[in-house]
A and B are shown apart, each in its own frame.
Chain A
Amino acid sequence: MSAILHLQLNWADWLNLFGRYLLLSLLSIGGGITTAPDMHRYLVDQKNWLTDAQFNASISIAQAAPGPNILFVALMGWNVGVNAGSFLTGLLGVLLTMGGILLPSTTLTYLAAQWGHRNRNLRSVRAFKQGMAPIVVALLLATAWILAGIERDSTQAWPLWLLSFASAIFVWKTRIHLLWLLSAGALLGWFGLV
């Protein structure tokens, strides 16, 4: 674990941070997390604005917290800003990184979706949506597989797989509220049963 960082950032640095996230936004096909390796290269290795521990904590806290996982970007901006001085610069960091990662992609998505709906009777638009359907549905199963860490080579991991499997069945076949399942998972984990 590296030492605490004290940064001096000038306006060119802030602009650079914003610009990098604008660029990453356009590259984040398949979700924000796909650009995390590049963020690590930039923030930790290249600029030394963030420690390794801060980087990892940003991702794991955002994943555990309620809300979209893309908030890990906000935490990175927050940590860079706090490293540069105060909570105020922390908020500036949140604003620049979240604004950067969201502006290009949301604008593009809005325009594309709008165009798609306007032309929804075109043969090519229908073919695109219908053709992609089986692929994006299967992609959900692939994501679940990766998140559950089924391939994790560990004999101790089977209770976790069992928990993932059981929660999949419950969500699929019953109308039980999702928060009950999450609480059950949290309790099992708290007492070290999974």
Chain B
Amino acid sequence: MWERLASRLLSFRAITQPFPMNTNLPEDHPRPRSLADLFISFTLLALQGFGGVLAVVQRELVDKKRWMTREEFVEEWAVAQIMPGPNVVNLSLMIGARYFGLPGALAALAGMLTVPLVLVLLLALLHAHFAAHPGVAGALRGMGSVAAGMIAATGLKLFGALRNNPLGIRLSVVFGVSCFVAVALLRWPLAYVLSGLGFAACMLAYRRIKA
């Protein structure tokens, strides 16, 4: 009986443990120092993200802090995107969990949401007074189109991560272009595109990866 209880406890511990790190990274690979570092980093990321946070997360965590490589980022992003829920929220909790397990996930999540939540409530209170000003509407419009460009740039940067993809560059481009056409131009429902194209791509990748 005690043995069973112990193994239960162990498996609960396993669930809250950090994800094993990628083994091909050097020991001194940059990483968040503590839960507080994680919380503050994600708060700062969130506060820079007007009209979406993904571009900032990619730039700060991959390009600047180098907590993860471009390839690792794409892998995490694939999971964050497939799972239900807000993608950037999913991504931050996964990144937090990589380094500190469940506490890390919660710290990153709290960083991403707490201060922005307070800010957005304050803005909602202010909004009533300033919504009619034409300059405010214009500024929001201008920031919106810059934000769209930032997301495009993130996509363009991450394309480089496909160079070592087992699908090969040609098939990657075929899948990428089909996805773009289906979602952006034909406006097909995302669920169908992800499951249809995704299934085909994963099958092909499976065949090309050596067991």
A residues apposed to B, CB below 8 Å? 25-32, 34, 57-58, 60-71, 74-75, 78-79, 94, 98, 101-102, 104-106, 108-114, 116-118, 120, 123-124, 126-149, 160-161, 163-172, 175, 178-179, 181-182, 184-192, 194
Contact = CB atoms under 8 A, between A and B. Distances in A.
Contacts of A184: 142, 146
Contacts of B161: 133, 137
Contacts of B102: 110
B141 interface: yes
A74 B140 contact: no
B107 interface: no
19 contacts: A68-B112, A68-B116, A69-B86, A71-B120, A104-B85, A105-B84, A106-B85, A130-B165, A133-B162, A134-B172, A138-B155, A139-B180, A164-B146, A167-B148, A168-B150, A171-B59, A181-B150, A182-B147, A185-B146
B159 A131 contact: no
Nearest to B122: A65
A109 B94 contact: yes
A131 B201 contact: yes
B145 A132 contact: no
Nearest to B49: A66
B113 A147 contact: no
Nearest to B74: A133
Interface of B: 15, 19-20, 46-56, 59, 63, 74-90, 93-94, 97-98, 102, 105, 109, 112-113, 115-117, 119-121, 123-124, 127, 131, 134-159, 161-162, 165-167, 171-173, 175-177, 179-180, 183-184, 190-191, 193-194, 197-198, 201-206, 209, 211
B149 A163 contact: yes
Contacts of A123: 206, 209, 211
Contacts of B89: 68, 70, 102, 105-106
Given A32-B86, A68-B112, A144-B151, 5 more contacts: A106-B89, A109-B93, A131-B202, A169-B153, A178-B56
